[in-house]
């Protein structure tokens, strides 16, 4: 397994934000990390890349194993050698990711020169090759341009190029299509999907868009209020979601032929981390299936076919299986 996260817990100050999060991704796979804003998706990405320390966060339990190496207690100098070279991070805002005072080529060149040791000339050739593979027309000209001269979709492709410049084994993409129009979103998603297959790398795609997940992901991990609600193969999740939250997210996907005003939402909001509650189902206040047990006892993950679900009353189950210790 390329990356395996097991029982990851994380706090900022005295506030626990992630609680025993587990998932895994291998080469040639796309894992979708999904959930509403405030579910812990971006925080998980920062933990995996060692950047959570920069916002005062600390890992309080669990493990992050990348290609056989434990990362949860890795010192920053050692993490810096992995980050960018073997683990690449695509942020959701290309405007803030790019330096307005440097050309596109200089910024992408810097990655391959630092991590691959290429000469200035070789780095530029490498940059132009990557930009071309990302379907950027006149790549050599674009390499001489500045960020303000490019469209939002082009900037996002440049950020992806920076992630690819050191031949990373794993890409973590945090909402890579945010603020892009629908046509450009589709192009970026397909580019990422093709890269995974052609280069045999892993991709963790963080998104709230279940339509994108259905389109390119192999596996899904549904986060809610810092915990995993459900995880498993994408086909099983969409065909027979077990957790009411997973079903609610899928129900929000617009469908062809849907009547005007028929778009569904999920009542309520994700609770604040200050009000999570340790011994309960954190989705209980928004769930039509919740009872007293849900409000007083934490549901432990248990197997449902090829998936895992943390719910006292999973959908489509006549009799609840015995919970497994985690």
DSSP-derived secondary structure letter, 118: -
Report if residue 46 sits inside a domain: yes
Specify the number of domains making up the chain: 1
Rounded-to-integer distance, Cα 41 and Cα 52, Å: 12
pLDDT given for residue 319 in this prediction: 37
Rounded-to-integer distance, Cα 296 and Cα 286, Å: 15
Which band of pLDDT confidence, cut at 50, 70 and 90, is reported for residue 185?
Answer: confident
Tokens of 260: 């005007």
pLDDT given for residue 286 in this prediction: 95
- For the stretch 242-275, pLDDT in tens is 999 999 999 888 776 665 556 678 889 999 998 8
Residue 119: phi and psi, rounded to 5, are -70, 170
Q: How many CB atoms lie within 10 A of CB 76?
A: 11
Report if residue 323 sits inside a domain: no
pLDDT value at 321 more than 60: no
pLDDT value at 125 more than 60: yes
Report if residue 250 sits inside a domain: no
* Nearby residues of 12 by Cβ (< 8 Å), 6 or more positions away: 55, 56, 57, 58
What is the reported pTM? 0.91
Report if residue 113 sits inside a domain: yes
pLDDT given for residue 124 in this prediction: 97
Report if residue 310 sits inside a domain: no
Which band of pLDDT confidence, cut at 50, 70 and 90, is reported for residue 181?
Answer: confident
Report if residue 129 sits inside a domain: yes
Q: Which helix (H) or strand (E) holds 190?
A: helix 182-199
Report if residue 84 sits inside a domain: yes
Strand 170-174 to strand 87-90: parallel, antiparallel, or no bridges (unpaired)? parallel
Percentage of the chain modeled with pLDDT above 70: 94
pLDDT given for residue 264 in this prediction: 74
Question: Which CATH number is 127's domain given?
Answer: 3.40.50.300
Query: Which domain does 201 fall in, by range?
Result: 3-234
Report if residue 18 sits inside a domain: yes
pLDDT value at 239 more than 90: yes
């Amino acid at each position: 397994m390329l990356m395996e996260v097991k029982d990851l817990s994380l706090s900022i100050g005295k506030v626990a934000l992630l609680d025993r999060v587990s998932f895994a991704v291998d080469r040639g796979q796309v894992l979708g990390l999904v959930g509403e804003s405030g579910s812990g998706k971006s925080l998980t990405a920062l933990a995996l890349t060692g950047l959570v320390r920069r916002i005062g966060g600390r890992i309080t339990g669990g493990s992050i194993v990348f290609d056989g190496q434990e990362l949860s207690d890795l010192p920053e100098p050692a993490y810096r050698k992995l980050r960018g070279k073997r683990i690449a991070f695509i942020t959701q805002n290309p405007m803030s990711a790019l330096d307005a005072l440097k050309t596109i080529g200089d910024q992408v060149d810097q990655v391959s020169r630092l991590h691959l040791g290429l000469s200035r000339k070789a780095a530029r050739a490498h940059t132009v090759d990557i930009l071309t593979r990302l379907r950027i027309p006149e790549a050599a000209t674009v390499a001489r341009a500045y960020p303000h001269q490019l469209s939002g979709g082009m900037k996002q492709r440049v950020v992806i190029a920076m992630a690819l410049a050191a031949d990373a084994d794993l890409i973590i993409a945090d909402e890579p299509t945010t603020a892009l129009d629908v046509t450009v979103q589709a192009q970026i998603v397909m580019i990422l999907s093709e890269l995974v297959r052609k280069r045999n790398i892993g991709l963790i795609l963080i998104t709230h868009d279940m339509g994108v997940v259905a389109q390119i992901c192999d596996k899904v991990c549904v986060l809610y209020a810092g915990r995993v609600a459900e995880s498993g193969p994408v086909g099983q999740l969409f065909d027979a979601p077990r957790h009411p939250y997973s079903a609610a997210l899928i129900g929000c996907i617009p469908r062809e032929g849907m009547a005007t005003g028929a778009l569904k939402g999920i009542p309520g909001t994700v609770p604040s981390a200050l009000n999570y509650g340790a011994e309960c189902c954190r989705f209980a206040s928004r769930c039509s299936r919740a009872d007293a047990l849900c409000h007083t006892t934490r549901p432990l993950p248990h197997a449902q076919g090829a998936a895992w679900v943390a719910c006292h009353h999973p959908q489509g189950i006549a009799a609840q299986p015995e919970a497994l210790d985690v």
